[in-house]
A and B are shown apart, each in its own frame.
Chain A
Amino acid sequence: MPSAPLTPITLHILLALSQKERHGYDIMKHAEEDSNGAVRLGPGTLYSSIKRLLHDRLIEEADIRPDAEMDDERRRYYRLTAQGKSVLSTELERLDAVCAIGRGLDLLPHSSFAA
């Protein structure tokens, strides 16, 4: 089980899976969107990371299969495990604490939603 801090790739894969099951290409697109283009995964890097996350039991393959009429039925979907959610929450709390330090030092705005 990885200890914090997580790598940006791992963090964004876990974030992409935090709301629903996704297939690999969907994970790749969401990681890119969520990071404003900073995390641009290639297929090899994505599946090396997925393999490690499967091994660490932070994610698992979901049972769902898309309807052949709607999508490629051979796609595999992945989802977060309870352990994965716990690791993600721990990492987000750690990042939040770091941001709090930054705000205390006036290195960050005091509110993310400030005009």
Chain B
Amino acid sequence: MTARPLTARTFSHRLYDLLLLLYPRSFRNRFGLEMSQIFAGLHHDRGLAHAWLRVIKDLPSSFLKAHLQEKVSSSKVIRGVAFAIYVPLGIMFIIGSVLFFTVEAYFPLVPTIDTRVSDGFTMEGFDAIQLGMSAEEVHALIGQPLVMQQGMALDFNGSCRIYSEDGASKYWDFAWVEQRVCFDEYGVVTSKHSEWFYN
């Protein structure tokens, strides 16, 4: 098993990469990839809504600051600010409307249609996992995970095993559910999580 990559190119990630075009070229060339990594990290750790809220709040002022640093003429800055604010908002409004009136109406609030689970995984087994259980006991309940996270991918000594991921449905999905069990460095369960991710 390998650590789960944070740079999965979901639609949102590609849209954010497009928004990076609003920053000056030199700034984008130097920091664009890192900004994408941060967006992916926020999406992964706190959910898509949080990631977008933070970006929307940050974009106008940081865009302006980046251009001022580049000593762009004021008229270009004003046009750029208007473009940075209204175009992304318009795009998101259109996309949100399409999603709301088609996808959610088609499959209202059923995230499991897009959730792929590991072999042997059952919700009954997942619910039976208790804090303090060993890795072997967890394996007996829900089998092998799809993804193992450890080391620098986490901010604690230990590991997390992920038993479900995105990708069961290519169309008409809007969310998926991640089932994750985390262990300390001795292989004892310290937490389990069931979290929705919207895409």
Contact = CB atoms under 8 A, between A and B. Distances in A.
Given A51-B27, A52-B69, A72 B55 contact: no
Nearest to B65: A48
B62 A45 contact: yes
Contact size range, B: 20 to 34
Given A47-B31, A51-B27, A74 B37 contact: yes
Contacts of A46: 38
Would you call the interface of chain B mostly helix, strand, loop, or mixed? helix
Interface in A42-68: 42-48, 50-52, 66-67
A75 interface: yes
B157 interface: no
A114 to B, nearest CB: 31
A40 B54 contact: yes
B90 interface: no
B108 interface: no
Given A43-B55, A48-B66, A24 B5 contact: no
19 contacts: A23-B37, A24-B37, A29-B155, A42-B62, A43-B35, A43-B58, A44-B35, A44-B59, A45-B61, A47-B31, A47-B34, A47-B62, A48-B65, A66-B152, A69-B2, A72-B5, A72-B6, A74-B33, A74-B37
Interface of A: 23-25, 28-29, 40-48, 50-52, 66-67, 69-72, 74-76
Interface of B: 2-3, 5-7, 23, 27, 30-31, 33-35, 37-39, 41-42, 54-55, 57-59, 61-63, 65-66, 69, 150-153, 155
